[in-house]
Amino acid sequence: MDASRLNFLLNRYLDQALTPAEKSELEQMLLASAEARAEFWEQARFHALLRRHGEEQQGRHLVFGGQVVAFGVEPQKLIRLPWVWATALAACLALALFVWLPGRNVDDEMFASEAVTIGVATLTRMVDASWDTAEEDAPQPGELLAPGWLHLREGLVQIDFFNGAHVIIEGPAEFEIISAGEMLLKTGRLTGNCPPQARTFKVRSPQMDVVDLGTSFGFNVQTNGSAEVHVFDGKVEVSRPGTAKPQRELVQGEALRASASGNLETAIADRERFPSRVDLEERARRLAMRRLNAWRERVTAPPADPSLKIHFAFESAEDNPVVLVNHGQTGGNGTVVGADWTTGRWPGKPALEFKRVSDRVRLQLTGEMASMTIITWVRIDALSNPRHALLLPDRPGPGTPFWNITRAGELLFGVRDQGRMNRYKSPRVITPERQGRWLQLAVVYDPATASVMQFVNGRPVSRHTLKEPTGLKLGAAEIGNWGRPHKSGPQPVINFIGRMDEFLLFDRALTPKEIRASYTAGQPAT
């Protein structure tokens, strides 16, 4: 056996560069010699080891490299944690979330270049709120906030700092998140709550700095530069901006005003003038009701989009709980198997709960589609199966699409072509903090632009080049499960675990703008 020739051929094999002649030469050697086969395994296993190392390194690089890079559009969102652990764990969590990220699959650079920093607070609630920023950059509920400026145009938001303090801010307001326990209020009105177990929380302003010592207080900075602090509970220390030495200490019921020129005067605390949690809840309730009513009007209002083939609004709980009415153009209703009715993204909105391995919705769609868009609203409660079916055809065949969520939280869309599967997998976008929240998921299959794009909450999370454009045929299919009525015996467990309260399928490619608009109109009122 020619060892150096074998070595050459094996290397060509691993680099996938064998010519047909070289390939048969290598095959002859492998068939003829046990020694050659042993060498094959040695080199091939090392090839696999290198790949495994490379994949792990790639994940690590994304966190610790020159910049933190993620493919997801909102990768900075981390799980909310008790304050004790939060700050210290933030970096570890980010690592856990990013380490797995493979460097392949995503072929569009635009998704690979978003730099993020580790956040220090969470935007937990947002009611009637809008930000003075491009819509696609606007923070969303559940999002982790990094240090930086935010400009709230209107509405109410609640921000939970990692040190345990939380603030309710009423727009218009301009403020800067400085750290896990510090912010600057340039203009606007806020109520701060700093439970005793939180470490000190500091709110700075151009006129005065307020250090919260386990209290509840209101803080208002006006555009003319004057500022006032009202203490509702406990006590705060007030100091001149940028100085550490406390100038005054205020206790419950006291207030202090600083004019633009810096003169101080005391007053009586007035809780009514500051946003409260009750306001927040009440406005959220009213907003949910408005959104639900507007949504119901849209669902029933003609004329519907003729490309909307299937539209399950999940509104049929009353008379016949096993029928899922289709408001789309094909007429065929869905059939609910097992799944129970529950509450959807707004109070009063029905949804189906998929919990047992047998829960599913059966549907039928005949005909072929050149392009396709699916939009659905789901609340994912667990990712414990290897795959979680969103939509699966009963019989995989040429042109059948499927859509899953992987255990790792990737959206996996695919189309079966002659004999092979073309898969399009997003980065890991269903991160732990997104579980248990209502999310809009969407996929657009568009041969015209030769692309498959997937979306979470109206934002693109992946874009792949279409491998082989084919017409799509769904046939009999299931939402939330895989129905193989013709097979018996053990079935793979790939049921969706969570709730769904809307499902739309179009036989055209919606634009990202349309997906975004659909999200905005349908978002929950957190």
Partner 1 sequence: MTEHRESTHERHLQEVQALFIQHTPALRGFVLALMPDFGRVDDVLQETFLLVTRKAGEFKLGSNFLGWACTIARFKVLEIVRRETRRQLHLSEEVIECLCACEPEPDRSPDERLRYLDECLDQLAPQARRAIELMYRQAHKPAEIARRLKWNAESVYVALSRARVILRDCVRRKMNLQEVT
Cβ–Cβ under 8 Å, residues 184 and 104: no
Q: Minimum Å distance from CB 105 to partner 1?
A: 9
User: Would you tell me how many other CB atoms lie within 10 Å of the CB of residue 214?
Assistant: 18
Q: Minimum Å distance from CB 436 to partner 1?
A: 23
CA distance 267 to 428: 52
Q: Minimum Å distance from CB 488 to partner 1?
A: 11
CA 126, 132, 135, 136 torsion: positive or negative? negative
Greatest extent of the chain over all pairs of C-alpha atoms, in Å = 97
Place of tokens 């386990």: 214
Nearer to partner 1, 104 or 245 (CB): 104
- Per DSSP, the residues of 78-110 read -----HHHHHHHHHHHHHHHHTT--SSS---GG
Nearer to partner 1, 43 or 307 (CB): 43
Tokens of residue 135, six digits: 């819509």
CA distance 365 to 273: 56
**Per-residue b/e over 300-318, b at no fewer than 16 CB within 10 Å?**
eeeeeeebbbbbbbbbbee
Helix or strand holding residue 173 (H, E): strand 166-179
Checking phi first, is residue 338 left (phi over 0); if not, alpha (psi -120 to 50) or beta?
A: left
CA distance 459 to 520: 11
Q: Minimum Å distance from CB 74 to partner 1?
A: 24
Nearer to partner 1, 52 or 513 (CB): 52
Tokens of residue 354, six digits: 């998929």
Q: Which residues bind partner 1 (CB under 8 A)?
A: 7-8, 11-17, 20, 23, 27, 30-31, 34, 37-38, 40-58, 61, 102-104, 386, 419-421, 423, 489-493
Nearer to partner 1, 50 or 260 (CB): 50
Nearer to partner 1, 88 or 110 (CB): 110
Q: Minimum Å distance from CB 32 to partner 1?
A: 10
Nearer to partner 1, 423 or 437 (CB): 423
Q: Minimum Å distance from CB 300 to partner 1?
A: 41
As a whole number of Å, the CA-based R_g of the chain is: 28
Comparing CA positions, the residue from 117, 116, 223, 218 lying closest to residue 174 is 223
Nearer to partner 1, 185 or 390 (CB): 390
Indicate the residue type of 275.
Answer: P
At residue 148, φ and ψ (nearest 5 deg) are: 155, 175
Q: Minimum Å distance from CB 404 to partner 1?
A: 10
Nearer to partner 1, 42 or 154 (CB): 42
Nearer to partner 1, 55 or 237 (CB): 55
Cβ–Cβ under 8 Å, residues 258 and 248: no
Cβ–Cβ under 8 Å, residues 162 and 182: no
Q: Minimum Å distance from CB 343 to partner 1?
A: 29
Nearer to partner 1, 44 or 260 (CB): 44
Nearer to partner 1, 224 or 488 (CB): 488
Q: Minimum Å distance from CB 176 to partner 1?
A: 37
Checking phi first, is residue 331 left (phi over 0); if not, alpha (psi -120 to 50) or beta?
A: left
Q: Minimum Å distance from CB 372 to partner 1?
A: 22
Q: Minimum Å distance from CB 465 to partner 1?
A: 13
CA distance 70 to 427: 8
- Per DSSP, the residues of 469-520 read ---EEEEEEEESS---TT--S--------EEEEEEEEESS---HHHHHHHHH
Place of tokens 């795959």: 387
279, exposed or middle or buried, with CB in 10 Å at 0-12, 13-18, 19+?
middle
